[in-house]
Structure formats: C-alpha cells, structure tokens
C-alpha cells in the first residue's frame, strides 16, 4: 500500500505506485497517476488529468494540475505531464493545458522549481532547468534544456527560451531568448554568453569559442538578424566542427522565432 498519511484524501480512482508517499492533509483527485518513488508533502492538492513520473518531490502547499486560468477554458480534459526527479518547492502552481494549444502542460526531468513559481497552461519546460523563487511563466511559454530563470522574473505568453540560456533577477521577458545567452536588466538585454553554465556542462573550450563568435555576430557586429544568421551558418566546420550542433541549435531557434529576440 502507498505510504499515505491517514489525513490525506486520495480518490479511489487515482493510480499511485505502492512506493508513493503522501503527507498530511494532501488531496489527490481521480484522474491522477503517480509513479514510483515520488513524495507528496503535506497540504498539497494534485488534481486534473495529471500524470507524474518517478522520484519527484512536492513540498507543502503546492497546487498541481488545477484548471488553467484561461477565461476560454470550459472544463475540457486537458492534461499536465511531469517527468522524473523534479523538485517542486512550496506554493508552486502548475496548471493543465488548453484545447486552443497542445492541450498539455509539460515539465521534463531533473528540474528544480523553487517556491511560488507558476507554470501556466501549455507551458513546456525541458530538462535540468532551474526556476528561482517567484518565476512566473504565462501561457504557451516554451523553455529548453539547462535553462536558469532568475527570481521574480515574468515571461509573457508564447515566449521561447533557448537551451542553456540564463535570465537574470526580476526580468521582464517580452521577446525570445536565444540559446546560450545571458540576459538581464530593465529593459532586458543580452549581456554575454552563459560561459559559467556551459563550463559546468562540460562544453569544450573550442565549442565555447564558437558560441562567443555567435554572440558577437548577433549582438556586436551591427548585422541585421538575417545577415547574422548567414554569418553564423558560415561558422560550421570551423574548429573541427565541434560546435556544429550548437550552430544548428541557434539557427533552428532563430528560424522559428516570430516575436523577435532579446537585443
């Protein structure tokens, strides 16, 4: 039997692995599925069509899988899907998706979500991201892998954050943030390559050098965006091609941007 505190209320239709722990006064609804090793702290509410993977930890007072805050929502059975080994701290709110978009809000694996964070409808977050306290993601935001988002940051609807980007404290994100960049300030601006993050992820000196060139072409060359994209593509094959995947990552991101990028 699952490790359920006697004051917790678990709907009989919920599917919990026998190793799931649920703390005092938590509520889990009928359409919830939770895989092995996950720990739900006290006073949590997990509802909606929510699927949670293995070895996650939910701290007290989290609201997971509640109806989204889109005024068009009419109770459709949209979903929230959470991967494995995520940490969700106190007072976080993760809502289900909407039928106007993909119908699913998605949190990947190995993410660290600090207190009071909000993931609105249809948000997609990749793997190994950090959201500091009070980071707020509006509907339809897409976040790549290995992204750090500073505390008290607000990200507007439909913005995209590229892999390995870092957003500083108290940012207002109203344009896409390209991969590998560090952005901060008010108004928000690109400051440098996220070198510290790349080194922590074992990027070679050669790869980082090419990414620095990409930054200069985007932000310091005086090129238009189209000119910068052409120049970035021309970097492929340099330094033995070690950074070709990073170049492709950047070009793919820029090609899909419809809201412009942080300048």
The catalytically annotated residue of 41, 97, 126, 139 is 139
Q: Which helix (H) or strand (E) holds 254?
A: helix 244-256
The catalytically annotated residue of 31, 49, 118, 121 is 121
Positive or negative, the CA dihedral 154, 140, 71, 107 is: negative
- H helices, E strands: number in the chain: 4, 28
Q: Is 121 a catalytic residue?
A: yes
Tokens at residue 205, please?
Answer: 């000196």
Tokens at residue 149, please?
Answer: 């988002």
64 vs 82: CA distance, rounded Å? 10
Q: Is 139 a catalytic residue?
A: yes
Token pair 């994209």 in the structure block, residue: 229
The catalytically annotated residue of 122, 145, 176, 246 is 122
Q: Is 226 a catalytic residue?
A: no
Residue 48's closest CA among 37, 36, 69, 32? 32
- Bond before 187 cis per omega within 30 degrees: yes
* Secondary structure E strands in 24-91: 27-28, 33-34, 39-40, 45-46, 49-52, 57-58, 63-66, 79-82, 87-88
Which positions are catalytic?
Answer: 121-122, 139
């Amino acid at each position: 039997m699952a490790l359920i505190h006697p004051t917790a209320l678990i709907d009989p239709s919920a599917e919990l692995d026998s190793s799931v722990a649920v703390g005092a006064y938590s509520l889990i609804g009928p359409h919830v599925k939770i895989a092995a090793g996950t720990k739900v702290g006290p006073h949590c509410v997990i509802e909606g069509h929510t699927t949670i993977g293995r070895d996650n930890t939910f701290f007290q007072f989290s609201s997971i899988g509640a109806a989204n805050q889109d005024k068009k929502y009419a109770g459709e059975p949209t979903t929230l899907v959470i991967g494995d080994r995520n940490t969700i701290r106190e007072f976080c709110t993760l809502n289900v998706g909407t039928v106007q978009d993909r119908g699913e809000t998605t949190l990947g694996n190995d993410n660290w979500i600090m207190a009071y964070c909000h993931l609105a409808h249809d948000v997609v977050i990749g793997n190994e991201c950090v959201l500091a306290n009070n980071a707020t993601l509006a509907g339809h935001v897409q976040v790549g892998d290995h992204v750090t988002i500073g505390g008290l940051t607000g990200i507007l609807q439909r913005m995209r954050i590229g892999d390995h980007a870092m957003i500083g404290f108290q940012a207002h994100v109203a344009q896409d943030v390209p991969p590998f960049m560090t952005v901060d300030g008010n108004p928000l601006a690109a400051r440098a390559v996220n070198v510290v993050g790349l080194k922590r992820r074992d990027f070679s000196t050669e790869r980082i050098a090419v990414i620095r060139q990409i930054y200069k072409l985007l932000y310091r060359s005086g090129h238009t965006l189209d000119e910068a994209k052409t120049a970035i593509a021309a970097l492929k094959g340099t330094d033995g091609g070690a950074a070709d995947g990073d170049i492709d990552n950047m070009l793919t991101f820029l090609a899909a941007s419809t809201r412009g990028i942080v300048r």
